[in-house]
């Protein structure tokens, strides 16, 4: 009798959520939609329809946030049979109905389908089909203003792929491009093109080729706080909308024509693997005056830089001639890149008295000479 009584107490303790492992208890639950809705003042909703959602962005639940930990693992006080059945169905490729999600910015909360989400996360699925109702944040913050602009752009264009900008007021430039492209398609086809049809064509034939060129050139590494969409908007705006001289390298005209539709036509004939590089080499010669008896030390220090290709000690008005070969993206000027290298790697060397930089105009080199 005493043993049965003791077993019943132990069973109750095990099934009590308050007595779970602290790592999987209430303090480690998924996010609560109501709390986040209140925090973001997100009460106006827009039906986004049915689409695939990244499982990693499903972070909370509308009504059952206490039943799952923050990895969406079911807590031990709940019966596991339902989760086990859903996992078995997914493993054999059975199609399950779309779940229902609430969305606030880039995060999703489960209204219906918590066990399906738990199973998808446990099995390592990347995406899941869902009917989405998005709640728009209304607090007047920079982040919310930018997000609402992005959401409005997505709704207007119908584009599914995310185009994320980091500055307020920039989506208007992309919308103007799409409208200009729509007018071009109308004239070319002699038929009326909807704005969303033009947006899809613009994305595939203009936006994607240019962003792939930007990515291939490694420009994001030079602008770590920006996105590909930021660089696309900056480059295309200065190429296609502003008719004035630019401060960055004029060599960009060799890759990206000054007319948007001409760029589209050009890229239609170029396979993606042959997209051009947005990087160019710069050759410059630095004439140096150095303090006496410092030549050897300075030569050795400079020669360690991979950009320094040749160093010559000479007699005359200067003491050394250095040939450097640098790489620049097509948003920067030759003078900017050269000046930065000379200042940081040559002029700071102890014993260097003065430098003069020469940039070749036309060059002829005998191969093998």
Under a CB-based contact definition with an 8 Å cutoff, are residues 200 and 132 in contact? Answer: no
Residues 253 and 349 in one domain: no
10-residue mean pLDDT series, the chain (369 residues): 49 46 55 92 90 93 88 83 91 92 94 94 93 92 91 91 92 95 91 93 93 84 89 89 55 71 86 67 90 91 92 92 81 76 92 91 73
> What's the DSSP call for residue 29?
B
365 is a domain residue: no
Tell which of 104, 139, 174 closes a domain. Answer: 139
pTM of the model: 0.58
Asked if 253 and 189 sit in the same domain, the reply is yes
Q: Residue 255's pLDDT is what?
A: 67
In a domain, 155, yes or no: yes
Residue 310 half-sphere exposure, CB side, CA atoms within 13 Å? Answer: 9
Q: What is the structure's pLDDT at 8? A: 52
> Are 44 and 59 in a shared domain?
yes
Q: Is residue 39 part of a domain?
A: yes
Task: Point out the domain boundary residue: 274, 301, 327.
Answer: 274
Q: Quickly list H helices, the chain.
A: 2-15, 33-40, 81-91, 114-122, 142-157, 171-189, 195-202, 208-216, 228-240, 260-268, 295-303, 334-345
Please enumerate in sequence order all residues whose Cβ is within 8 A of that of 306, keeping only pairs 6 or more positions apart, or say none: none
Contact 159, 203 (CB under 8 A): yes
Q: How far apart are the first and last CA of the chain?
A: 103
Q: Is residue 74 part of a domain?
A: yes
Is residue 252 situated within a structural domain?
Answer: yes
Whether residue 118 lies inside any domain: the answer is yes
What backbone torsions phi and psi does residue 107 show, to the nearest 5 degrees?
-120, 150
Q: Return the residue matching tokens 């005998």.
A: 366
Are both 269 and 343 inside the same structural domain? Answer: no
Q: How far apart are CA 165 and CA 169, in angstroms?
A: 9
Residue 191 is part of which domain span? 148-274
| Shared-domain flag, residues 262 and 190 | yes
Tell whether 367 is covered by a domain. Answer: no
Residues 221 and 168 in one domain: yes
Domain end: 85, 104, 139, which one? Answer: 139
Is there a contact between 87 and 122 (Cβ–Cβ < 8 Å)? yes
Same domain, 284 and 301: yes
Q: Do residues 260 and 349 share a domain?
A: no
Distances (CA, A) of 176 to 167, 173, 181, 228, 236: 17, 5, 9, 19, 12
Strand arrangement of the beta sheet that strand 279-290 belongs to: 308-313, 320-329, 279-290, 352-358
Of residues 50, 293, 217, 134, the one with CA closest to residue 235: 217
Same domain, 233 and 215: yes
Given the DSSP bridges, would you call strands 31-32 and 58-61 parallel, antiparallel or unpaired? parallel
Task: List all residues 6 or more positions away from 120 whose beta carbon is below 8 Å from its beta carbon.
Answer: 55, 90, 128
Q: Count up the domains in the chain and report the number.
A: 3
In a domain, 27, yes or no: yes
Q: What is the pLDDT of residue 223?
A: 85
Write out the two tokens for 318: 């200067």
CATH number of the CATH domain containing 306: 3.30.70.920
The DSSP string of 64-110 is -GGGBBTT-PBPTTS-SHHHHHHHHHHHTT---PPEEEEEETTEEEE
Q: Are residues 320 and 225 in the same domain?
A: no
Please tell me whether residues 239 and 328 are part of one structural domain: no
Whether 249 and 334 share a structural domain: no
**Nearest Cα to 144, choosing from 40, 33, 31?**
40
Residue 311's beta-bridge partner residues? 322
Q: What local confidence, expressed as pLDDT, does residue 329 receive?
A: 61
């Amino acid at each position: 009798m005493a043993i049965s009584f003791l077993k019943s107490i132990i069973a109750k303790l095990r099934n009590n959520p308050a007595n779970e492992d602290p790592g999987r208890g209430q303090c480690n639950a998924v996010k609560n939609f109501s709390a986040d809705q209140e925090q973001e003042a997100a009460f106006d909703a827009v039906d986004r329809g049915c689409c695939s959602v990244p499982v990693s962005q499903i972070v909370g639940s509308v009504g059952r946030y206490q039943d799952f930990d923050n990895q969406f693992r079911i807590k031990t006080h709940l019966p596991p049979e339902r989760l086990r059945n859903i996992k078995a169905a997914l493993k054999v490729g059975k199609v399950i109905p779309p779940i229902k999600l609430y969305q606030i910015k880039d995060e999703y909360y489960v209204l219906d389908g918590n066990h399906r989400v738990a199973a998808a996360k446990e099995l390592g699925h990347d995406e899941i089909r869902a009917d989405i109702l998005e709640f728009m944040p209304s607090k007047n913050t920079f982040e919310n203003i930018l997000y609402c602009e992005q959401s409005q752009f997505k709704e207007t264009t119908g584009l599914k792929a995310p185009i994320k900008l980091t500055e307020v007021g920039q989506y208007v430039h992309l919308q103007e491009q799409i409208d200009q492209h729509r007018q071009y398609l109308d004239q070319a086809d002699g038929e009326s093109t909807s704005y969303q049809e033009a947006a899809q064509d613009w994305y595939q034939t203009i936006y994607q080729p240019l962003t792939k060129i930007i990515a291939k050139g490694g420009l994001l590494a030079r602008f770590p706080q920006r996105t590909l969409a930021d660089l696309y908007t900056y480059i295309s705006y200065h190429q296609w909308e502003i008719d004035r001289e630019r401060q960055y390298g004029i060599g960009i005209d060799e890759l990206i024509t000054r007319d948007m539709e001409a760029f589209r036509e050009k890229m239609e004939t170029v396979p993606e693997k042959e997209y051009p590089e947005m990087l160019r080499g710069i050759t410059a010669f630095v004439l140096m005056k150095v303090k006496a008896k410092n030549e050897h030390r300075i030569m050795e220090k400079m020669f360690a830089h991979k950009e320094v290709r040749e160093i010559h000690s000479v007699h005359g008005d200067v003491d050394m001639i250095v040939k450097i070969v640098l790489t620049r993206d097509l948003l920067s000027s030759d003078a900017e890149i050269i000046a930065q290298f000379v200042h940081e790697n040559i002029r700071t060397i102890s014993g260097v008295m003065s430098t003069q930089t020469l940039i070749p105009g036309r060059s002829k080199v005998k191969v093998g000479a």
